[in-house]
Structure 1
Amino acid sequence: MAVLDQASGRKSPQILVVDLSVVSSRTTRHSLETLGYTVVVCRTLKEAMDLLDLARVDLVFTDLHLGGESGLDLIRAMAGKGLTVPSIVLFTTTEPGMKEDALAAGASDLLPKSSPLDLFRTAIVRVLEGRSGRVPRVLVVDDDPLVLKVLKMVLKEQGFDVLTAESALSAWKTIHLQRVDVVVSDYSMREHNGLELLKNMRNQKIKVPFILLTAVPVQEVLVEARSLGVISVLSKSQDVQPLIDTVRQVLENLGIIRAVTPVHERSAVT
């Protein structure tokens, strides 16, 4: 497996290129190294995930097609392990729904493999500086439709993309199908509670940050929540501001956002 050069003092961003094709990956690597970046190449999703576990990577360039897997599978696997490394998907020919699928999976941008150096440079700078246009995505889980409606409205006003699920099972399916940056879940739900959802996530090595809501903060629930790595346990009887602040703090700590401007404030800017 390739190992990144992590010599002290190296300042250039380190880019991981994932591509089955020797010729294509060599061309991409040459382009990126010409721009002054440090580059390592992996051939498969597994090799890329192994490297991401061991070394610092600032940006991932992945081919859309990786044999029996895809670059989108890699992006979803990264998100499932809590890795917030931005990614750019490379493609040879345009396919129906390609852009929508890539952005839904969590890609920061898409580029043709034949892009000129200037386009590569512009995209890399935009992504690394956090201007890719990616909107943080929050999954809210509660079996009360009214609570879901209110929390979705409140979080969308803060500039977040909000998904909802009315059960732990529905949330589990969503987590496997779409990129999720933070989960906000009620504790008490029919069939499976919020901590059972979190246990399943952790058993599958899904490290997405988890915020638990509860009507009554019972001591044993708090103890179990801490043992499972819950970021925060918030009372549902509280004002929504603590939830907003916690979600923002989690996303800032992950480096996903610097600051999120509420929708009503953005619309007031002229």
Structure 2
Amino acid sequence: MGYLIIAIVLFGLIVAFIYGRKLELLKLDARDVFKLNKSVSTVLFVTSHPDDECMFFGPTLLHLIKNNVTVHLLCLSTGDYYGLGETRRVELLNAGLKLGIFPSQIHLVGSFHDDIDNYWDGREVAEIVDKFATVTKAEAVFTFDDRGVSGHRNHISTSKGVRNIKSDVKIFELISVNTFRKYIQVADIVLSIFNPACIALNLGQFRALHHAMSCHKSQLTWYRRLYVIFSRYMFINSWTEVR
């Protein structure tokens, strides 16, 4: 038992050291991580449902906004699976303000129905993303990878559509991890640190993200509350550039 306690303490110290080191590195301009324009940077995040911006992309959104990058958010559905589309639209706008994204930078098109059992048409997704990439003059698009973090078919369709856009922009995909890693919170930094495009939050930023997520009141079921506490995506984002 004594050896187990020692091992746990040592592992905790290692995690704290690596996480602290990552936070020190991120004090540099976060635009360097994604090789964005230093003078004027505009990016577009493409999500499937209201609350995706907090549950999955929050660490990166906060870091880019902190570094004066203009962030536009394109949400492809109103999250109307239970008929709460209008409620979720308002929640998204409020959460955006908490994150530092103004309503004029949030584009909720509602072109697709929120449905975990069905895929969306990738060509239609690509057309919409192309339109907003042009309108916002984005130099990079951020979205899910082909596993969609949670395996949600709408997330996967969003990723597929973004991969097929014609716009001449960088495309970054959020790396999905296995279930064990997904719920070990900050400890996942031990495995994520080797990715150069890794973003981590400090405690103050986590509180800001938690406040933003609290705006999605209609979605705060008991299991989502646990997700907010334990998910590494509330603290860490790892990205891969696919174009």
Structure (1 or 2) with the larger CA radius of gyration? 1
Structure with greater helix share of residues:
2
Q: TM-score by structure 2 length?
A: 0.30
Question: Which has more strand, going by share of residues?
Answer: 1
Q: Relative contact order, CA 8 A, sep 6+: which one is greater?
A: 2
TM-score (norm. length: structure 1): 0.28
